Each structure stands twice: as structure tokens, then as C-alpha cells.
Structure 1
Amino acid sequence: MLNNKTKLYIAFITTLGIVLIIYSIFNINNNYIGEVIVFGLIAAITESLPIYINKQVTVSVGYAIDLMALLIFGPYEAVIIGTLGYLLEIVKKRDNSIESVFNKPYYKTLFNISQIALSVGLGGLTYKYLGGRTGTLIYPNYILQAIFAAIAYYFLNNILVTILVSLLLNKSFIKTWLKDFSWMVTNFLFLAFIGILMASTFIAYGYISLVIFFVPLLMVRYMFKLYMDLKQSYYDTINALTKALEAKDRYTLGHSKSVEKLAVYLCREAGFSEAHTEMVRIAALLHDVGKIGIVENILNKPGKLSKEEYDYIKQHPVSGYEILKDVPFLKNVRYWVRYHHEWYNGNGYPDGISGRQIPLEAEILSVADVFDALVSDRPYRNAYTRKEAYKIIVDSEGTQFSPRVIRLFKRAYEKNKEDFKHDF
């Protein structure tokens, strides 16, 4: 159910978008009507072949077609082409169901055609008012105008969608953008280059350029889809390992996910890229995978472990390393998993390394692991409160934890306190 803020936002964007679409219909150049229909169909094909990033977010190569249209014809024609592309799309979803404008919620359709129209329109107007001329060779005279048009289109589209997702999830704009959209900048740069190149060749050579570029564009889309499918298969394997461990160890149930969430906050404070953060997230999910080889009567022992049992448990980072060492995709992750119980002063395990010998990523896993362990009930003690756990970790600076990771922890805790476990 949509909350009131979301409803107001959708209504506002829809009103602006519909007004622009109607205005564009009355201002379209009649000489371009045939081209608008053809390009609208091409846009529909590209929009019908999205790549799923997650259950909610998809990307397509339609951005390149819309950008191409606004550079060739102008803002109003491009608005209609972008709108037609969405209205005519027919998408096969992950569950094999077919989605089209006829079975989508009406507010979703209205919002999407509106945000596309507004984004394309802003890109087209940016190009026009910076002095760019439509239907004219772009390079070298109008290349800067084309680049600014591409940026205006991309960022308005990105901002409008991010605001909607943040309202739906009740999360801040920045957190939503960093998690789901910031990685798309690279995708945008490539598609902007393709769109500008396609516009230039169409102006020079006509429709033959669509054959030259459209097929390779679909091939690029196919290769990116293969990459995302391969990446998904890695995550499926990781989740299977995590579930296998959770089935064996009652305490681990939900623990890896909590460590993952906390580790992400520390990564962002460290200034890691999203790709780097993604690898730490994987490490967080797998940090205890070595416990799969530990017998259950020790893992689930209700009382305190004996010295021999504890020494046995302490081998799980090495076991995790051995499990992951032959996976090329996880070549760095295996070391972070191995070292996540090392201490800054050298009193940790399994290798007794210290100081800067411990990778920062492993330190981040360690802090997140310890915090979640402290605020969770254990067989031999009740959970600490959030404030108590915070104090224990901060007081361990210089012994268990390095000053650099404590600085990250303090900043992450203050900024994201509501997402750390609440007091009991």
C-alpha cells in the first residue's frame, strides 16, 4: 500500500509529465511523424529487453535510443518516442509472466511515462538552449552540448526514480542511491557514448546506421545479461552455503545478514567503491562458512566451551579460507575471511598477525561480527544493549581493534544508529 508521501510524489511527477507529453504532441514537427513512430518501435524493443539488477531495479539500453532521438529530432519528438517506447514494451519477467501496459498498475504506468518524458525533455531542452542543433553532425561543433544533454537526461531520470524508491522503502535518498543506483554511472557513460555516436551516424548515413549499431547494441545488452546471470549464480551459491550453515548452527541464523549490513556502513565510511563494498558484503555473508566442518554438539553446546573445544572452533577461519581459496571470484575474500578474528595487538587467531598486516576489510568484518555477537543472546549470557556493545568495542581500541577501524565504527554508528540493533 502506498503511503501519502509516495502518492503525492507520484501525482506531482505524473501531472508534470502528462502536461509535457501533451505539449510535445502539439509541438511536434509534422515532417518527423514517420520517424517518431519508427524510433518509438525501436525504443519499445529495447525497453522490452531489460536486465534485472534485483527484484525491483532493471536497466535497459533504451537510454541510448532516447538520447539519439533528442539529438536528431529535438526535445518534443524525443518525448513522444520515449513515451511510445514505454507504452509499447512487452516484458517477460523473471517468473516468466508477461508484463505490459495493460496489466501494470495505472499509477506505475503514469509515473514511468512521466519520468521518462521529463528526463528526455530536459535533455533535449539542455541541448537546444546550449546552442546544439538537431539533425546536424554533432562532432566536433556540438559535442559538449550533447554531453551536457546526456548528463541532464541521466541525472534527472536517476533522481526521480531514486526518490520514488526511497519513499517506497522509507529510506534516505543518499542510502538508496548508493545501494541501488550509483553503480549505474559506468553503464550511463557507455550508453551516452553509443547514443551520441548513433545520432551522428544516423545524420550522416540514414537508416542503414540503425542496422550497423542496433545489432551490436543488442549484443552488448546480451553480454551484460550474461555477466549479471553469472553474478547471480555466484550469489545463489553464496546463499546456499549460508543457509547450509544456518541449518547447522542456530546462532548463525540471521547473523551473517546482520554482519553484512553493518559492514556496508563501515565500508562507506572508509570510502570504498560500490564494487569494493560488494566484495566485503560477500565476505560478511561467508565469514563463518568454515563452521560447516565443525561438529554440531560443539557448535550448539549450551554452556561454555572447554579449551580443547574452543581451540577446535578457532580453526573455522582457516577452514573458510580452504573452502574459498580455489574460487577465482573470491581471491581477496578468502583472506578477509581468514583474518576476521585477528587482533590489532597480535593476540587473535589463527595466524597471530597484528597492526597493518590485517587487511582493513578483515577489520571491518571483525567489528561487525563482534557487535552483532554482543547484542545477540548466547547460550552462556544474555545480549548486551546497543550502548553497552558500542562501549565494549570502543574501549577495545588498541587491543582487539585498530584506531582506524574504530574511527569508521564511530562514524557509522552515529550516522546509522537506527539500523543497528535496538536496546533490549
Structure 2
Amino acid sequence: MLNKRVKVYISIIIALGLSFLIYSMLKIPKDTIPDIILFGLFAVLAESLLIYITKELTVSVAFAVDLMAVLTFGPYAGALIASIGTTFQVIKYEDGTIKHLFNFPYYKTLFNVSQLALSVGIAGLVFEYLGGIPGEYVYPKYLLPATITALIYYILNSILMAVLISLLMNKSLAYVLGTDFKWTIPNFLFLAFLGIVMAEAFIRIGYISFILLFIPLLMVRYMFKLYIDLKQSYYDTINVLMKALDAKDKYTAGHSQSVERIAALLSRELGLSESHIERIRIAALLHDIGKIGVKEEVLNKPGKLTDEEMNIIREHPVKGYEILSEVPSLRDVALWVRYHHEWYNGSGYPDGLKGDAIPLEAQILSLADVFDALVSDRPYRDAFSQEEAYKIILEHEGTQFSPKLIDAFKKAFEKNREEFKHDI
């Protein structure tokens, strides 16, 4: 069931999008209708060549076709062509299910058509406002307006979809853009360039350019799919390691995923870039990997640990560092994992680092790790409430955690209290 906010948002976008499409139909010259139909069929083909970024989020090579249409025929015809493409697309899901106009929920089709019409149409209007003339040679006179047009289309399309996902998942817009939509940047860079080239080719040589450029379009799709598959394989490997650790230590099941989420929230409050945050998220998922070498009876001991057992537990950051430092692409992550039990006042382990000698990334992992441990059940105690854990963290300002990190924690906790809940 869609909640009220989602229904209102979808209704607003559909109303605006369909209004723009009706207006576009009234504005286009009748002699462009055959071109719109032919371009629309090309857009349908492009929209059907989807690439999965997540289970729900996809991208397609249609961005280049839509941009080409806007630069060639203008904002109104461009919006109609993009709408034809997304209306009649045929989607084949990874499980073999095929979806099309006649078995797809009507409100999803209307939303997709509407948000695309708005994104393409507004981008096309910007092109004209910047002095661009649809149908004239793009290079060199209109190259800058065309580039800005591509950027506007990408931003509007991403934001309209991200707002919907944010409302559906009850996540912040920044979180959705940072986790899901960052994968689309390589797609945008490739297809913006290709869309401009395709528009220039069509204006110069006509419909034969479809044949000449369709192969490069497929190649771009293939390369981006390889990129996504490689990234997914990378995260799948990490998740398998985490599941192995969760199976070994039943009391920390879901702990790494919770630490990853909290670490990302803290990192954003500290103003770190999304590429930097991605590395920290990987470190968060792997921060306890050294515990794989610790005996289960020690990890799951219900009573107080002996000094010898405590020393064994305290070896896990170094063991994790030794495991991860063997992987060249994870050497920075390995250092952060090694230092995630260091204290700001120098009383932590394994190396007794103090103050700014502790990498900021390791400090982030440390606070995220401690908070989630506090709100989780442990063999020797029940979980603290969120409010209790919050107060305990604040009490350790200047000793375990730096004032800078505590300040970021306060802001992140107030803005995203639900995100600080432990994953079970």
C-alpha cells in the first residue's frame, strides 16, 4: 500500500507531466509527427535495454536518444518522444518476468511518463533559453548549451526519482542520492556525450545515423553493465564474508550493516564526499573481519571474559588489518579497520594512538561500532535503549571520542534517529 505522502507526490507529478504533454501536442508542427513516431520507436528500443543498479532501480541507454531528440526537434517533441519510449517499453526482469504497458500498474506508467516528460521538456526549454536552436548543428556554436541541457535532464530525472524512493523507503533524500544514484554518474557521462554526437550526426546525415550509432549505443550499455556487475560482485563478496562472521557470532548478526549505515550518516555530517563515504562503508562492513579467527566459545561466552580471552578479542583489529592489507585496493580500509578501537585520549588498542593521530575514518567506525553495540543484545547484558546509548556516547566526549565527532553524531542522530536502530 502506498502511503499518503507517496500518493500526493505521484499525483502532483502526473498532473504536471500530463499537462506538459498535452501542451506539447498543441505546440508541435504537424509535419514533425512522422519523425516523432520514428524517434519514439527508437526510444522504445532504448528504454527496453535496461541495466539493473538495484532490485528496484534501473538505468537505460534511452538518455542519449532523449537528449538527441531534444537537440534535434526541441523540448515539446522531445518530451513526446521520451514519453512514447517509456510508455511502450518492454522490461525483462532478472527472474525472467516480462512487463509491458498492459500488465504494469497504471500509476507507475503514468508517473514514469510524467517525470520523464518534465525532465526532458524542462531541459529542452533551458537549451532554447541559452540560445540553442533545435535542428541546427550543435558543434561548435551550441556545444555548451547542449552540455548544460544534458546536465539539467540528468539532475531533474535523478531528483524526481530519488524523492519517490525516499518517500517509499522513508529514507532521507541525501541518503537515497548517495547510495543508489551515484552509480548512474558513469552512465550519464557516457550517454551525454553520445547523445550530443547522435544529434549532430542526425542533423548532418539524417536517419542513416540510427544505423551507424546504434552499435556504439549497445557498446556503451555493455560497458556500463560490466561496470555495474563488477561493483555488485565486489559487494556480494563482502556480504558473503559478513554472513560467515554473523553465522559464527550470533550476537552480532546484522551489526556490520548497522555500523555501515551509521558510519555513512556521520560521514555526511562531516562533509565527506560520496566516493570517500563509499570507502568508509566498505570499512564498516569489514571492521570485524578479524573475528573470523576467534574461537566461538570466546565470542559467545555469556559471562565475564578472562584477561587471556580479552587479549584474544583485542587481537581482531590487527588480524583484520593483516587480512585486508593483502588486497591492494583495500589498503586504506585495512588501516581504518586496524585503528577502529583506538581512543581519542590514547587509551585504546592496538597501538595506543591519540588525538588526530587516529585517522578520521577510524574514529567514525569507532563511534558507529560502539553505538550499535550498545543498542544490541550481548551475551553478558541486554540492549540499551537508543536514548541511553546516546547519553553514554556523549559522556565519552574527549576520552573515547573527539569533540568534532561528537558534534557530528548529535546532528546525525537528531536528523536520522530511525537509521540508528540495530539491524536484526
**C-alpha distance 8-405 of structure 1, shift in aligned 2 (>3 A):** closer
Tell me the residue number matched to 1:144.
144
- Match for residue 338 of structure 1? 338
Match of 1:110 in 2: 110
Q: Give matches, 1:158-197, under 5 Å.
A: 158-182=158-182, 184-185=184-185, 187-197=187-197
Match of 2:264 in 1: 264
Equivalent-residue separation in structure 2 for 1:346 and 1:75 (angstroms)? 61
Q: Give the aligned partner of residue 349 of structure 2.
A: 349
What does the per-residue CA deviation read over 1:116-150, in whole Å, with 9 as the maximum and x for residues that have no partner? 11221212222234432111012333233323432
Tell me whether 1:72 sits opposite 2:72 in the alignment.
Answer: yes
| CA-CA distance at 1:300 after TM superposition | 0.7
1:185 deviates by 4.6
- For 1:31 and 1:273, locate their aligned partners in 2 and report how far apart those are by CA, in whole Å: 49
The superposition leaves residues 126-175 of structure 1 with CA deviations (integer Å, 9 ceiling, x where unpaired) of: 22344321110123332333234323322322232122222222334343
In structure 1, the residue corresponding to 2:251 is in which secondary structure? coil
Does residue 22 of the first structure (1) align with residue 18 of the second (2)? Answer: no
Residue 283 of structure 2 corresponds to residue 283 of structure 1: yes
Aligned AA (1:138):
V
SS in 2 for 1:51: strand
CA distance in 1 between partners of 2:193 and 2:282 (Å): 32
1:166 aligns to what SS in structure 2? helix
Secondary structure of 2:91 counterpart: strand
> For residue 205 of structure 2, what is the amino acid of its counterpart?
Y
Corresponding residue number in structure 2 for 1:230: 230
Counterpart position of 1:3: 3
Q: How does 1:269-348 map to 2 (within 5 A)?
A: 269-348=269-348
- Give me the whole-angstrom Cα distance separating, in 2, the residues matched to 1:46 and 1:329: 35
Superposition pairs of residues 32-111 of structure 1, within 5 angstroms: 32-111=32-111
Aligned pair in 2 of structure 1 residues 408, 15: CA closer, same or farther (>3 Å)?
closer
Cα 1:14–1:231, aligned 2, differ >3 Å: closer, same or farther? same
Q: Kindly indicate whether the alpha-carbon contact (under 8 Å) linking 1:119 and 1:156 is maintained by their aligned counterparts in 2.
A: yes
Conserved? CA contact 2:190–2:220, under 8 Å:
no
Pair 21,216 (structure 1): closer, same or farther in 2 beyond 3 Å: same
Looking at structure 2, the residues matched to 155 and 191 of structure 1 have their Cα atoms a distance apart, in angstroms, of 14
Q: Which moved more, 1:258-267 or 1:271-280?
A: 271-280
Counterpart contact for 2:187–2:224, Cα < 8 Å: no
Task: Show the counterpart of 1:364.
Answer: 364
SS in 2 for 1:332: helix
> 1:61 deviation in Å?
1.9
Identity %: 60
Q: Secondary structure at the match of 2:252?
A: coil
- Cα gap change, 1:92/1:328 in structure 2, threshold over 3 Å: closer, same or farther? farther
Q: Distance in 2 between matches of 1:278 and 1:389?
A: 26
Counterparts of 1:351 and 1:20 in 2: how far apart (Å)? 63
CA contact (8 A) 1:183 1:274 kept: no
CA distance, structure 2, for counterparts of residue 233 and residue 154 of structure 1: 26
Deviation at 1:70, TM superposition (A): 0.8
Comparing 235-244 with 348-357, greater Cα deviation is found at: 348-357
Tell me if structure 2 keeps the 8 A contact 1:72–1:199.
yes
Contact 1:47–1:85 (8 Å) recurs in 2: yes
What is the CA–CA distance in structure 2 between the aligned matches of 1:213 and 1:55, rounded to whole Å? 30
Structure 1 position 230, deviation (Å):
1.2
**Whole-Å Cα distance in 2 between the matches of residues 306 and 178 of structure 1?**
43
Q: Which moved more, 1:293-302 or 1:335-344?
A: 335-344
With structure 1 as the length reference, what TM-score do the two structures score?
0.92
* 1:413 positional shift: 2.2
- How many angstroms does 1:189 deviate by? 4.1
The CA distance in 2 between the partners of 1:395 and 1:32, in whole Å, is 70
| Aligned-partner Cα distance in 1 for 2:339–2:270 | 18
Deviation of 1:283 (Å) = 1.4
Q: Is 1:240 aligned to 2:240, yes or no? A: yes
**Mean CA deviation greater in 85-94 or 409-418:** 409-418
RMSD value over aligned CA atoms?
2.2
The answer as to 2:385 corresponding to 1:392 is: no
The change in CA–CA distance for 1:342 and 1:258 in structure 2 (over 3 A counts) is same
CA shift, 1:418, in A, is 3.7
How far apart, CA to CA, are the structure 2 residues paired with 1:133 and 1:374?
A: 61
What is the TM-score of this pair, normalised by structure 2?
0.92
Unpaired segments of 5 or more residues in structure 1? none
Deviates more, 1:325-334 or 1:39-48: 325-334
Unaligned runs of 5+ in 2: none
Q: CA deviation at 1:257?
A: 1.6
Aligned residues: 422
Deviation at 1:75, TM superposition (A): 1.9
- Residue 206 of structure 2 is matched in structure 1 by 206
State the secondary structure of the residue aligned to 1:331.
helix
- Letter of the aligned partner of 1:62 in structure 2? A
| Preserved CA contact (<8 Å) 2:36 2:80 | yes
Whether contact under 8 Å (1:154, 1:188) holds in the other structure is: yes
Shifted more, 228-237 versus 353-362: the winner is: 353-362
Closer, same or farther: CA 34–211 of 1 in aligned 2, 3 Å? same
Paired letter, 1:375 = V
